[in-house]
Homo-oligomer: A and B are copies of this chain.
């Protein structure tokens, strides 16, 4: 059976029913999780259940030179103002910025506290992001979710699974939703199995988030495998059937692998207005639950960022 056929079939279950996807009515969304996700999905952002987040963790993950293209963005006030005026579902940042800046905006802009991270100075061959904050920090600060980076397939994946398990259990205790940044990474994913952004790896990352118990997963858009195809004897050989899929169809597969887990797609490095809107459209057509665009927003000047935000939100309202 070809991949294209698979896609079509995947859209239907036996007896023609579609698989149920992410919503506030799912069994595992308790009252605490629902009350907090409601902020992102209905009280902020476009308001129709779709989410749009403004992440500001790049200063830690990439270093301050990510702010060079738009120097005022080095001050988190820039993004907090943009999130409020632009009506984002929420901002995402680490504990230090949250403690030093969030109180002024509390109640007006929802917060996702990113609770693990790293710098990009060491090699990524054995990537692992240790906790730099806890779910209790998030509760204390009034955050409406925690963000967690899982490096799927890294040689240190085992530590990541354990660390995530504790976060998941702690979050459940407090009714805090967990958003997993699910990123294929490490020497095996990067060098052997098509590269971190290949469909096989991104699809797997979606499933990992689903099976480990994330409420929402943040994914990158899948790309062609680095060598043009997958090892025909390797564990991901079946993805060679998918080499001619459109990016939208690839993303649709990924969304199905995420199952009842909400899907956010990240923006990556800065692209033009037109490309960004196209990217948003592809994602929404493929059925994602939200967008999480950082550098593509705050590397623009403030008014430009506001304008493109409005256009994207307008587009989101069509879904």
Instruction: Enumerate chain A interface residues (CB-CB to B < 8 A).
Output: 1, 3, 6-7, 9-10, 12-14, 19-20, 26-28, 57, 59-60, 62-65, 67-69, 71-72, 74-78, 81, 93-97, 99-101, 103-104, 117-123, 128-134, 137, 152-155, 157-159, 161-162, 164-165, 168-169, 184, 186, 188-189, 193, 200-201, 203-204, 206-214, 235-236, 238-239, 241, 253, 256-257, 259-261, 302
A158 pairs with B129, CB closer than 8 A: yes
Q: A153-B121, A212-B132 are in contact. Are A10 and B71 (CB under 8 A)?
A: yes
Chain B residues near A235 (CB-CB < 8 A): 62-63, 120
CB distance from A80 to the nearest CB of B (A): 11
- A12 to B101 CA separation, bound complex (whole angstroms): 17
Chain B residues near A209 (CB-CB < 8 A): 96
- A259 to B6 CA separation, bound complex (whole angstroms): 45
A213 pairs with B75, CB closer than 8 A: no
Main secondary structure of the interface of A (DSSP, over half): helix
Chain B residues near A78 (CB-CB < 8 A): 13-14
- A302 to B17 CA separation, bound complex (whole angstroms): 14
Q: A14-B302, A72-B9 are in contact. Are A212 and B130 (CB under 8 A)?
A: no
The 5 A-B residue pairs with the shortest CB-CB distance in the complex, in nearest-first order: A121-B153, A19-B75, A10-B71, A9-B71, A65-B238
Chain B residues near A120 (CB-CB < 8 A): 235
A100 pairs with B131, CB closer than 8 A: no
Which residue from B1, B13, B212 sits with its C-beta under 8 Å from A77? B13
CB distance from A81 to the nearest CB of B (A): 7
B261 pairs with A122, CB closer than 8 A: no
A161 pairs with B99, CB closer than 8 A: no
Chain B residues near A186 (CB-CB < 8 A): 121-122
Which residue from B65, B134, B212, B238 sits with its C-beta under 8 Å from A95? B212
B96 pairs with A261, CB closer than 8 A: yes
Chain B residues near A157 (CB-CB < 8 A): 118-119, 121-122
CB distance from A6 to the nearest CB of B (A): 5
B94 pairs with A212, CB closer than 8 A: yes
